[in-house]
Amino acid sequence: MDESCDLIVIGGGHAGCEAAHIAAKMAHNVLLLTGSIDALGRMSCNPAVGGLAKGQLVKEVDALGGIMGVLADKSGLQFRLLNRSKGPAVRSTRAQCDRKLYEDSMKSLLSSNPNIQIYEKYVVTLILERGAVIGVRCDDESVYMAKTTIITSGTFLNGLIHIGLQSFPAGRIGEKPALGLTEDLARYGIRSGRLKTGTPPRLDGTTIDFEKCFAQHGDQPPPFFSFRTRRDQDLSQLPCHLTYTNPQTHELIKRNLDQSPIFRGIIEGIGPRYCPSIEDKVVRFPDKLRHQLFVEPEGWRSDEIYINGFSSSLPAEIQFEALRTIAGLSDVKMNRPGYAIEYDYFPSSQIWPTMESKIIRNLFFAGQANGTSGYEEAAAQGIMAGINAALKVRDEEPFVLKRSEAYIGVLIDDLTTRNIDEPYRMFTSRAEYRLFLREDNAQERLSHYAFRYGLISEQEYEEVREYSRLTAQQISRCERIFVYPSQIEKVDAILNDKVNKLSLADALRIPTVDERDISKIDREFADCPDRVRLKVEVQIKYDGYVSRQQIEIARLSKFEKMRLDENLDYRKIKGLKREAIEKLSAFKPYTLGQASRIAGVTPGDVSVLMVYLKRLKSEAQTKKASTEESKNVPRGTF
């Protein structure tokens, strides 16, 4: 035995980095085992953070004390708020990042933490004792003992890269795969599967004619992710660009499909439906004359360009030829071809909502190991696995977020109640309470948890509460202060002298009126921080809808509070249908609410379970009352 600690984290991707950081923040000793210290937090695909629904995840990770938002703000090349013209429920922040600066910042942050030790090693086997993991053995025969272990293997487990009809083992381009661990886990009954993802070519930006592309500029002031980032700073930003494929591009790709490992059946793993390769798009959408491509920079000091939307596993020479048919890329040089990669994952029906394995105690899974795609989904799982592994070390109650509390709750609930057979990606449409789970209120929703577990300071928590008080104060003012319609141009045009006066709140309820219009006529409101003004607008404008969602959340909360015993034998519960017994036995839902969301479990089955749980509770209360009564009977009384 070389060393022992509280937690071992296997893998240094976004899930592993968040897990290690948050557990160390909870004052636990963490050993992070990864293939390369220089690759910590590496953005294997697009160097970007956030995007639709993913921005919400980053904000929530930040509210819980995580690091993705902080590093994205620090390394950002361009910041944009997507869906700005739509409702607040679907607005999401996105940052194009400097790839090298992001990973260098991650390395510096984790390496300087006295609670984190980082070694460049691959884990090949787990060490178990009485059904619980107690350590790991590495490829160099070194052994490390720990109270809990988190697997965040990314695309490295038996990773296989495909470029054309050539294939070779790798975890990422230029990095060797992790071998042996999948087979070791199989010995203990943990099922695995194969998934596939891909990445586009990297281009030499000095050979691109940007005049033939469409410029896309960032927002000013930049919409940062982290509440720790100063909001008053303007930032120079790099432009991104748009270009498009054309019929010539599509025809060239179609002629060479026989050299695609996807269409030759060489790739067995299932790829992400919502992020298909360019050859997939050409075949699946034959009537589409063009496909949008994003020409995105990789760094401040780099000329390399990421061509987003052109993921491909065609031979390098075909990729190069196809690129040169695209506007702005006729003279382009390709630094590196795109490729597809297959890797092992472990179907997430095998974990609890705490991220702990249902089969091996004290073993946690996070990130692509659970069948997800995306840095943000990985970070969200990583922070939850890190918190719960630390709580397990302390022998404290686990931390589980409900669907009604966070996108993180939606993500993990989906993973643990559905059969994931393709890479899972977060969308706003997956969150039924998305009007309540907005980016702008992530701190208010989650900071009390972060404070409870010591993940944010008292000063940071008080700042959140102060913003909440200020928001409530301004909402009250807007209800009390009345103005003439003529004072607000948009209001005057709509009401057309139909009312004499209206409150600022009523003005904000008009769809075309926003906080900027109120700022023009109310100095105190204008002097409030941006985030307060925006929150006041959203809460007033959508109060009715949010109130209805909160009523629905309260109505369904009783199901989320009814815990189901992990050892419950569903075959013994009379009234359950056969399919429900099979699904409930396989998924072992955490709560009655989770049980209700498993495919194959009907409302009738949920009613049977509810009656059963109520009967158990009644029997337990009767037994307790009987025990207490017997204690009060005087000795010698018959």
pLDDT band with cut points at 50, 70 and 90 for residue 628: low
Higher pLDDT, 268 or 289: 289
* Mean per-residue pLDDT, 336-352: 96
What is the C-alpha to C-alpha distance for residues 251 and 257, in angstroms, rounded to an integer?
Answer: 10
**pLDDT for 555:** 81
**pLDDT for 254:** 96
Question: What is the distance, to the nearest Å, from the Cα of residue 366 to the centroid of all Cα atoms in its chain?
Answer: 11
Given a cut of 90, whether residue 483 has pLDDT beyond it is no
Entry pTM = 0.91
Share of residues in the chain with pLDDT > 90 (%): 73
**pLDDT for 233:** 60
**pLDDT for 384:** 98
**pLDDT for 561:** 85
Higher pLDDT, 493 or 219: 219
**pLDDT for 2:** 55
| Residue 189 main-chain phi, psi, to 5 deg | 95, 10
Given a cut of 80, whether residue 465 has pLDDT beyond it is yes
| C-beta of residue 490 within 8 angstroms of C-beta of residue 512 | yes
* Mean per-residue pLDDT, 140-165: 96
Average pLDDT, the chain: 92
Amino acid at 119: Y
**pLDDT for 638:** 31
Given a cut of 90, whether residue 446 has pLDDT beyond it is yes
**pLDDT for 1:** 47
> What is the side-by-side strand order in the sheet with 92-97?
48-50, 92-97, 76-82
- Which residues make Cβ contacts (< 8 Å) with residue 318, sequence separation at least 6? 164, 252, 253, 256, 259
**pLDDT for 637:** 42
| Other C-beta atoms lying within 10 Å of the C-beta of residue 624 | 10
**pLDDT for 552:** 84
What is the C-alpha to C-alpha distance for residues 398 and 384, in angstroms, rounded to an integer?
Answer: 10
pLDDT per residue as tens digits for the range 387-433 = 999 999 999 999 999 999 999 999 999 999 988 889 999 999 999 99
